[in-house]
Structure 1
Amino acid sequence: MKTAFITGATSGIGRATAIALAEAGYEVFATGRNAAALDGLRDEHPSIRPLAADVSDREAMESIVADLRVDVLINNAGVMPPLGNFADMALADIDTALEVNVSSAILLTRAVIGGMRSRGSGHVLFVGSSAAHAAFPNVAVYSATKAAIAGFAAALRADVSPFGIRVTEIVPGRVETQLYKSILDADARAAMYAGGVALQPEDVAAMIVAVLSLPERADVTRFDIMPTRPTTPSGSMQGSKS
């Protein structure tokens, strides 16, 4: 049975992917800070193994993966700093975004890539963002972190592809997740997802499973997955009369 290690698995894309991979026959190591949510995942599917940990705790993450065989690593954990002009950002919010979105993903990848190289196979996936590839206001640091991941994924692929390791950058558009929960009130979140046109976490999870199902000779280096219908900045469908 192949194994998959997923960070940020307590909600959103991480949770949906953990379930989808378990249903596809993987043994899934699901990490996150919410132990109760992880236990719920295990109750939902017995092949999911919950591992409560904070991705920014380097020693804890290295200890967890030290004795694991990881065939697929999905770097999904991420944070969205409070929206606003960069000049007004708190230094603590900048530090947190860099630590969780960039440093933690790079260091965890470093912890497992050696085993993949010695086996001559493996797949590393990074959940990026369309914000890495287009300019939007009020998300300068978030965009920078996701652009850093895009660059790292491309360079990592150049390093490890000779050893049979695949690397994929996942570039979602607007997905209805909990990412904005702590920085937007309920009304603002409702406006963002109005019209029911946003992607759902299960959509991204289905694409991840499809990419992983390809033969090892094929590497989807990057896939963009966007809502079919465009949305306005407030989230409502363009052209809607409602």
Structure 2
Amino acid sequence: MCSAIVTGATRGIGRAVAAGLADAGWTVHAMGRDRSVLEDLRARHGVMPLALDLTDRESCAETVRTLGVDTLVHTAFRWPQADTLTAADQVDLDTALEVNLSATLHIVRALLPNMARLIVALPDGTPPSLGQMTAGAVAGLIAGLQAEAKPLNAQLVRYETALILDVAGRIVEDLCGAGNGTTAAGRSAAAGQERLQ
């Protein structure tokens, strides 16, 4: 049986991917900070909730190392309220860097060398300077990982927020593969629009 950790699983694309993979028979560890949403995902889809904050490095690393998963779908990103780099305050910038870059590196590092697949889903429409910086850093991380961990299948998926359900369905279908519950999984990810709020 395939297994995955899905970060950012309490909203948006992470929630749809966690539900879709669980409905397709995967063991899904859904990571997020909102315990009530995680419990709802457990009740509806049978995910295993992980109420963790990615910025708590030690707790996250210790927890994910023990799970033995082969796939990470990383969708947890945080952006400042300001539209430009110059308008963002120091706390917002530090938080964005911690969640978007540092936490990404630490969770990936904790899962190597056993991780076989990594998908990082990064939204378009973020503040341009921070969005481009994060996308560039994540793309560089993926390129480096593919050179360092040769069997690792890693990819960066950029998406528009209006297409969350379509992109989530494609991620689920790609991970499940043809003839392995793909159609049901894709429908599950695309059908639960109310789950994304």
Name the residue aligned to 2:35: 35
Name the residue aligned to 1:126: 120
Name the residue aligned to 1:91: 90
Q: Secondary structure at the match of 1:50?
A: strand
> Do the aligned residues in 2 keep the contact of 1:69 with 1:115 (CA within 8 Å)?
yes
Unaligned runs of 5+ residues in structure 1 are 117-121, 176-197, 216-242
Q: TM-score, normalised by structure 1?
A: 0.69
Name the residue aligned to 2:103: 104
Name the residue aligned to 1:45: 45
> Do the aligned residues in 2 keep the contact of 1:72 with 1:123 (CA within 8 Å)?
yes
Q: For 2:94 and 2:132, locate their aligned partners in 1 and report how far apart those are by CA, in whole Å.
A: 14
> Do the aligned residues in 2 keep the contact of 1:10 with 1:31 (CA within 8 Å)?
yes
What is the Cα deviation at residue 83 of structure 1? 2.8
Name the residue aligned to 2:135: 146
Name the residue aligned to 1:166: 153
What is the Cα deviation at residue 214 of structure 1? 4.4
Q: TM-score, normalised by structure 2?
A: 0.84
> Do the aligned residues in 2 keep the contact of 1:126 with 1:153 (CA within 8 Å)?
no
1:209 pairs with 2:196? no
Change (3 A) 1:80 1:71: same
The structure, 1 or 2, with the larger RCO (C-alpha pairs under 8 Å, 6+ apart) is 2
Name the residue aligned to 1:67: 66
Which structure has the bigger radius of gyration? 1
Unaligned runs of 5+ residues in structure 2 are 179-197
User: How many equivalent pairs are there?
Assistant: 178
Q: Which amino acid aligns with 2:136?
A: A
Change (3 A) 1:76 1:36: same
Name the residue aligned to 1:80: 79
More helix by share: 2
Q: For 2:42 and 2:108, locate their aligned partners in 1 and report how far apart those are by CA, in whole Å.
A: 24
What's the CA shift string for 1:140-169, capped at 9, x where partnerless?
Answer: 1232122211221122112212xx221111
> Do the aligned residues in 2 keep the contact of 1:5 with 1:70 (CA within 8 Å)?
yes
Q: For 2:177 and 2:155, locate their aligned partners in 1 and report how far apart those are by CA, in whole Å.
A: 12
Q: For 2:157 and 2:137, locate their aligned partners in 1 and report how far apart those are by CA, in whole Å.
A: 13
Q: Which amino acid aligns with 2:76?
A: A
Q: For 1:66 and 1:75, locate their aligned partners in 2 and report how far apart those are by CA, in whole Å.
A: 16
What's the CA shift string for 1:21-70, capped at 9, x where partnerless?
Answer: 01111000001010111000000012x00010001100110121121111
Give identity over the alignment, percent: 37
Q: For 2:84 and 2:118, locate their aligned partners in 1 and report how far apart those are by CA, in whole Å.
A: 33
User: Within 5 Å, which residues of 2 pair with 1:180-199?
Assistant: 198-199=162-163
Q: Which amino acid aligns with 2:26?
A: Y
Q: For 1:123 and 1:84, locate their aligned partners in 2 and report how far apart those are by CA, in whole Å.
A: 33
What's the CA shift string for 1:161-219, capped at 9, x where partnerless?
Answer: 2xx221111111x21xxxxxxxxxxxxxxxxxxxxxx21x321111112222349xxxx
Q: For 1:6 and 1:62, locate their aligned partners in 2 and report how far apart those are by CA, in whole Å.
A: 14
Q: For 2:147 and 2:123, locate their aligned partners in 1 and report how far apart those are by CA, in whole Å.
A: 21
